[in-house]
Amino acid sequence: METKEHWEKIKELFGSALERDPSDRAAFLEAACGADVSLRQEVESLIHAHDSSSNFLQQPLELPSSNTEGRFIGPYQLIKKIGEGGMGQVWLAQQTAPLQRQVALKLIRWGMYDDTLLHRFQSERQSLAVMDHPSIAKVFDAGATAEGQPYFVMEYVGGVPITDYCDQKQLKIRERLELFLKVCEGVQHAHQKAIIHRDLKPANILVTEVDGKPVPRIIDFGLAKAIGADVAAEPLHTRIGGFVGTPGYMSPEQCDPAARDIDTRTDVYSLGVVLYVLLTGSLPFDAKEWKNKPLDEVLRQLREEDPERPSTRVSTDRETSTSIAAARSTEPKHLATLLHGDLDWIAMKAVEKDRARRYGTPSDLAADIRRYLKNEPIAARPASLSYRVHKYVRRHRYSVATAGVLLVLLIAFGVIQNLQLRKTKRERDRADRIADFMTQVFKVSDPTERVGNKVTAQELLEKASKDIDTGLSGDPELQSRMMHVMGRAYMNLGLYPEAQSLLERGIKVSESALGPEDRNTLNTKGDLGWVLFQEGRLSEAENLQRKLLDIQRRVLGPEDNDTMGSLGNLSVTLFEEGRYSEAVKLGREQLEINQRILGPEAFYTLSSMDNLAIMLTRSKQLAEAEKLERQTLAIQLRIYGREHLGTITSMTDLADIERDMGRDDEALKLYGETLDLEQKVLGPDQPETSVTRYSLACILAKRGDMDQAVSNLQQAIDHGLQPRMDLEIEQDPLLSPLHKDPRFAGLVAHAKQVAAQRSH
C-alpha cells in the first residue's frame, strides 16, 4: 500500500527529474532510487506520461514560440528568449511604461504549476528583492500573467560569463583577482541577507563594462536557499535525493543526498571553483571524463577526491598550457611560477572538502586575496616562525599569551629551518642543533613535579634564554636569530627587562656573525629601541632609532618596509617626548609613502593613519585628527570587523579625540564599547584594557559619577597599568575632579606600591 510519504517521494523525484536534461534523467534516477526498482518504475511512468500528454496535471496548451515573441505581459513586450532552465524561461523584454528600458523577464515554465516549483520561483523572486548590491542583478517588478503564470522583471545584464570575459580581454592574474573580489563582495551581501545562491558558476556571473571598467553581475538565484529557513517548509527536491546545483561547481555537501545542513560555505566552495577556472582555465576535475561515468561515481569523486593544485594543473596540461597562459598575458612557465605558493594555498583552501577547514565566508576568501595582492602574509598559508613572529609583532604588537602559542612558533622555526636547509650538510647540522636545543627547552627534569600543572610561556622562555648560550654556541647566526625571536616573545608578554637583555645579546652575536648592517642585525636593534621606549627611556630610544633609521635609509632604501617601521617608531618616541611638530612631520612622511607603496587599505597604512591622528590630537589639530581617525576606523570595520585588535585601538583613539573635543557623551559611549571588546578579545589583565579603564574613569569623574570612576580606576591599577602611567595619576588633570574624593589618596598610594613591586 502506498503511503503519503511514498507518494511525496515519487513527487519530488518526478519534479527533480523534469528539471534535468532528458539525457541525464536515467543516471539521476539510478543514483536517487538505488535498488528500489518499483520506485524508479513509478517515476519513469510519470515522466513518460508527462512527455506524451499535453494535458498532464491540467497543463495548458503551450504557445508556439513564434506567437509568443512580441506578446505583451503588462507593460513588457517580449522580444526574444535568451535562456531556459528547469524553472522557466528568461526573455529579453522592452518595458513601455512608466519608462522605456530593456529588462529581463523570467516566466515560470508552461504546465509546471507544481507547488514545489512555484515555491522555488517565489523564493528566487523574494531573494532578489531583498538584495541591493552593484554585483547582484536588481529586481524591478513581479506579478502574474492573465493566465496566472508567475513572472518577475529584473535588470537586463547583457554581459558574458566572467571566465569568457577574462579570456577575451586576456586579463592578467592580478586583474582577474581584482574582478573576482567584486563577486565575493556580492555573494557576501547575499549571505548577510540570509540568502545562499547554491548555483554559483561562470554562467551565473556575467560581466558588463561601465565607463570602460568591468562590473560583474550575479544572476539566477533560482536555487537560492534562505539561511536558517524552516526545513519542513523547504521544497522536497532540495531535501531528499535531489541534487541542487551544477556538477563541477557543486560543493561536496551538495553532492551528498543525506546532507541537510547546507550553509554559506557551499557558496565559498563554488567561488573557489570559479577562482580555480579563472587561474587555470579548467575545472578542478576533468568534466570530459564524467560523460562515461554514472552519476553516483561523479558525485563520489566530488565528495572524496582532492583536485590538483592550480600550479600543477597548468604545468602538466601541456596541450593547452600555451593558450591558457596567452589568455592571461603571460608564458606557461611564468604562469606556473605565479600560481605556485600563495595562490595555490588560497584556491585549495576555498575548495577544501572538509568545510570546517574551508574559508568560512566569501569575505574571508576576499581578505586573503587582498593580502596576496598587497604582498601581505595570507591566512591560508602555513608560515615559518620568523615569518609569523615578524608579521604578528609588526601588525599587532600584542602579547603571545600562552605556552601553546610559543610551542607552535618555536617548533615551526625548527621545522621550516629543516625544510629550507636540508640539501647541504651544514644545513642538516643546523636543523639537528635546533632539534636538540628545543628538546632541552621543553624537557622537564622531574616529571612528577609537573603532574596536573601547566608550563607557562614565561617558564619556557626563561629556560630557553638560560640554555641558548650553550645549546646553540656552535652556530652564532642561528643563536642570534633565536635570541631575537625570544626577545620579541618577552617584549610581547610585557617583560621588558628580560627582552632588553636578550635583544642586546642578540645584537652582539649578530654583528659578529652577520655584520652591523645586516637586515637581521638592524631588525633586532629596531625591537630593542621599542623596548627602551616601553621602559620609558625615551632619550636612549630616540638615539638608537635615529642611528638605525640613517643606516636603513642608506642600506635598505627609504621606502623599505623595515625603514618605514623605524620611521614610525621614531615619530612615536618624539611624540612621547613632547616634540609634536617633529613627530607630525615624520608621521605625515610615513603615511604618504605607505599610501603610495602599499595602498590606502594596507595594514601598515592604517597603522600610520592611526598614529598620525594621535599626534594631531596632541598638537591641538583636533578637526583633522577626528577626520583621519574616523576614516581609519571605517576601513578597519569594513575589512577586519569589530573584534580585530587594530579596530579596537582605533576606537580607543577616537574616544580620546572626542573627549579632547569636549564631546563627553560620544567619548563615554566609545570607551564603554572598547572596554567590552578588549575584555572579550584580550582579557582584563592586558595593559590595553587597563588604559581604557583609566580613560573611562577620567570621563566618569568629569561627569560627577565618582563611585564608577573610583571603581574603574581601582581595577585599572590592579590589572596592570603601564608603569609610566602609575606615577602620573596624582598629577593627571583629567583626574582632578577626583582629588576631593577621600578615596583618591588611597588609590594614589596603592598605584605607587604596585609600580614599585613591578619595578623589582
Instruction: Find where cell 551565473 sits.
Output: 204
Compute the average pLDDT of residues 194-210.
89
Domain boundaries, the chain: 4-58, 69-155, 161-373, 382-535, 684-760
Task: List the grid coordinates of 251.
Answer: 560543493
Quick: pLDDT tens for 671-705.
889 888 888 888 877 778 888 888 888 888 888 88
Q: What's 382-535's CATH class?
A: mainly alpha
By percentage, how much of the chain surpasses pLDDT 90? Answer: 22
Q: Which of 36-45, 227-236, 273-282, 571-580 has the highest mean pLDDT?
A: 273-282
The DSSP code sequence of 345-357 is HHHHHHT-SSTTS
The more confidently predicted of residues 29 and 453 is: 29
* Inter-residue long-range contacts of 390-395, CB under 8 Å, 24+ positions, other chains counted: 390/523, 393/488, 393/491, 393/492, 393/527, 394/565, 394/604, 395/603, 395/604, 395/607, 395/646
Lowest mean pLDDT among 64-73, 116-125, 213-222, 637-646: 116-125
Q: What pLDDT digit, counting tens, does each position of 500-524 carry?
A: 888 998 899 888 888 999 989 999 9
pLDDT in the model for residue 162: 94
Nearest to 317 by CA among 349, 346, 283: 283
Cα 563 to Cα 511: distance, rounded to the nearest angstrom: 19
Domain 69-155 sits in CATH 3.90.1150.10: no
Residue 473 binned pLDDT confidence (cut-offs 50, 70, 90): low
pLDDT digits (tens, 9 = 90+) for 61-81: 343 343 377 889 989 999 998
Beta-carbon-side half-sphere exposure of residue 189 (alpha carbons within 13 Å): 19
More confident residue, 333 or 241: 333
> What pLDDT was estimated at residue 406?
59
pLDDT of residue 33: 78
Q: How confident is the model at residue 528 (pLDDT cuts 50, 70, 90)?
A: very high
Residue 555 DSSP class: H
User: Which range among 193-197, 253-257, 433-437 shows the weakest confidence by mean pLDDT?
Assistant: 433-437
β-bridge mates for residue 150, sequence order: 144
Q: Does domain 161-373 have CATH number 1.10.510.10?
A: yes
Confidence (pLDDT) at 465: 58
Contact between 291 and 248 under an 8 Å Cβ cutoff? The reply is no
The whole-angstrom distance between residue 741's C-alpha and the CA centroid of its chain comes to 49
Contact 734, 702 (CB under 8 A): yes
What is the full DSSP assignment across 419-479? Answer: HHTTTSHHHHHHHHHHHHHHHHHT--S-GGGGTT----HHHHHHHHHHHHHHHTTT-HHHH
Q: What's residue 301's pLDDT? A: 76
Tell me which residue has cell 642611528: 547
Dihedral, CA of residue 78, residue 81, residue 86 and residue 88, to nearest 10: 0
| pLDDT of 59 | 39
> Mean pLDDT, to the nearest integer, of 233-241?
35
Is pLDDT of 172 > 90?
yes
What local confidence, expressed as pLDDT, does residue 16 receive?
A: 73
Average pLDDT over residues 269-276: 95
